[in-house]
Structure 1
Amino acid sequence: MLTGTPVDATGLDAAALKPAECDPARGLDLPVGTVVIDYEGREHLPDSDVLETLASEKEVYLTTPVRADGFDPLGDDSLLDGIPEGVDRVLVAGHGAYLSEDERNKALAPRLGAAVEGASGAWVGTEGVERLALATGATQFELLGRSTTHDIRALRAAGFSGEIAVYAPTVLTDAPEAVLDALGAYVARRRPVARALPEGAPTDASATGRAREVLLAASGDFALVGTPEAVAEQVATLREAGADTVVGYPARGIGTFL
Structure 2
Amino acid sequence: MLPPSAVTSADLDAVALKPAECDVSRGRSIPVETIAIDYEGPEHLPDTETLETLAADTEVLVTTPVRADGFDPLGDDSLLEVLPESVGRVLVAGHPAYLTDEERRRAVAPRLGAALETDPDAWVGTESVERIAMATGATQYDLLSRSTERELTALRQAGFDGEVAVYAPTVLTDDEDAILDAVGDYVSRRRPVATALPDDATTDSSATGRAREVLLAAADDYALVGAEIDVAARTAALREAGATTVVGYPARGLEAFLE
Confirm or deny a common fold (TM above 0.5). Answer: yes
* Corresponding residue SS for 1:7: helix
1:78-127 CA deviation, whole Å, 9 max, x = no partner?
00111001100000001000000000000111001111111121000001
2:121 aligns with 121
1:37 aligns with 37
1:195-234 to 2 correspondence within 5 Å?
195-234=195-234
User: How far off is 1:43 after superposition?
Assistant: 0.7
The runs of 5 or more residues in structure 2 that have no matched partner are none
Q: What CA distance in whole angstroms lies between the structure 1 residues aligned with 2:152 and 2:127? A: 14
The runs of 5 or more residues in structure 1 that have no matched partner are none
Q: What CA distance in whole angstroms lies between the structure 2 residues aligned with 1:120 and 1:29? A: 29
Q: What CA distance in whole angstroms lies between the structure 2 residues aligned with 1:120 and 1:113? A: 9
Q: Scaled by the length of structure 1, what TM-score is found?
A: 0.99
Q: What CA distance in whole angstroms lies between the structure 2 residues aligned with 1:104 and 1:209? A: 39
* One-letter amino acid matched to 1:14: A
* One-letter amino acid matched to 2:64: T
Q: Scaled by the length of structure 2, what TM-score is found?
A: 0.98
* One-letter amino acid matched to 2:88: D
User: How far off is 1:3 after superposition?
Assistant: 2.3
User: How far off is 1:33 after superposition?
Assistant: 1.6
User: How far off is 1:2 after superposition?
Assistant: 1.8
1:229-251 CA deviation, whole Å, 9 max, x = no partner?
10000000000001100000000
Q: Once superposed, what is the RMSD of the aligned Cα atoms? A: 0.7
Greater than 2 Å deviation, 4+ residue runs: none
Q: What CA distance in whole angstroms lies between the structure 2 residues aligned with 1:136 and 1:239? A: 22
* Corresponding residue SS for 2:155: helix
Q: What CA distance in whole angstroms lies between the structure 1 residues aligned with 2:158 and 2:73? A: 31
* One-letter amino acid matched to 1:127: E
1:97 aligns with 97
User: How far off is 1:159 after superposition?
Assistant: 0.9
Q: What CA distance in whole angstroms lies between the structure 2 residues aligned with 1:173 and 1:200? A: 27
1:148 aligns with 148
Bigger mean CA offset, 150-159 vs 179-188: 150-159
1:1-258 to 2 correspondence within 5 Å?
1-258=1-258
* Corresponding residue SS for 1:237: helix
Q: What CA distance in whole angstroms lies between the structure 1 residues aligned with 2:42 and 2:209? A: 40
1:117-151 CA deviation, whole Å, 9 max, x = no partner?
11121000001111000000000001000101111
* Corresponding residue SS for 2:198: coil
* One-letter amino acid matched to 2:230: A
Q: What CA distance in whole angstroms lies between the structure 2 residues aligned with 1:120 and 1:87? A: 13
Q: What CA distance in whole angstroms lies between the structure 2 residues aligned with 1:180 and 1:244? A: 28
* One-letter amino acid matched to 2:95: H
* Corresponding residue SS for 1:84: coil
User: How far off is 1:27 after superposition?
Assistant: 0.7
* Corresponding residue SS for 2:124: strand
Q: What CA distance in whole angstroms lies between the structure 1 residues aligned with 2:88 and 2:59? A: 8
Question: What percent identity do the matched residue pairs reach?
Answer: 67
User: How far off is 1:217 after superposition?
Assistant: 0.3
Q: What CA distance in whole angstroms lies between the structure 2 residues aligned with 1:70 and 1:172? A: 36
